[in-house]
Amino acid sequence: MITLALATFGWYVIYAARGVELEYNAIDTMATKTTTYETTRIALPQNDSPLYTPDLALFSLNNPWMYVSRTAPLPKTYQPTDLVDVTLPHAASDQPIKLQSRTNAKLTELFAAAEQDGRSLMVASAYRSIEDQQKLYDDFVEKRGETAARQYVALPGTSEHHSGLAVDIDDASNACRQDSDKCELSYQSIAWIAEHAPEYGFIVRFPETKQPVTGTAYEPWHLRYVGVVLARQLTDSGLAFDEFIDQVAPGRNNREQE
C-alpha cells in the first residue's frame, strides 16, 4: 500500500488493494459495487469517512464527476446522454427544460424536501446547448458589456449547463414563470439550499470567496450534481469542485490533456 500526502490541503490519497467495497450512495453503477480496478481512497479535510474512486471513468464526459470550466471546455460536438424533460415548475422558456435523468430525479427529491420546509422553488435554467449559450452570452454583452459578461456568463463550450448535470434554481413566482429575467432567490432560500442540497447530491458550484479558484462570481443558485457522498464531503471541507479536481485528477482541469 502506497500513501501519498497532498500537503496543500492535507489530503491523503491511499491506493488500496483491488476488491475494496465502495462506500457510495449510488452515483452510478461504477460507484455502487466492488470494483475490479485499483481503487483510490481519498480523505478530505474535516471528514472521517473516506471517499472512493473506482476508476478515472467517473471523471469522463457524461459521468457525474466530469469537469467543465474555462480551462476545460467541452468538444464542439459534445451532446449529453440521457436527457429527460424536467416536469418541475420552471421559468418561462420557449423550449423544454432538460437535465440528465439522474440529476432530474435527485432535483425532484430536493424540491419536495424544500416544499415540506415551506420553500417553493422552481428551475430557472438547466441544460443549454452551445448555441443557446452563445445567444445568452451575446445578449448579456449587449446589455452589460464584455467585462461583466466574462464574470457572470460562461463562454460557449465552457458552461456546466452543457452537461445536463447543472441547474439554476430560484424561488417560485408568477413573475419567474412569465419572464426568466425576473426570477429571484431569497436569502432564506439561499441558506436552505446551502444546507440541504448536498443531501441530494448537489453542490453550490461557485461558492462565496472562491472566485479566485473558480474564475466565476458567487452563484448560490447554480447547483451541480456530483452524487451524495462527494457533495457532502466537499461541502464539509469547504473545497470548490475545482480544488478537488486539481488534487485528485489534475489532468482533467485541461480538456486538451484528455
Active site residue 184: no
Of 58, 104, 56, 62, whose CA–CA distance to 201 is shortest? Answer: 104
Catalytic residue among 109, 115, 219, 243: 219
> Which active-site residues does the annotation give?
219
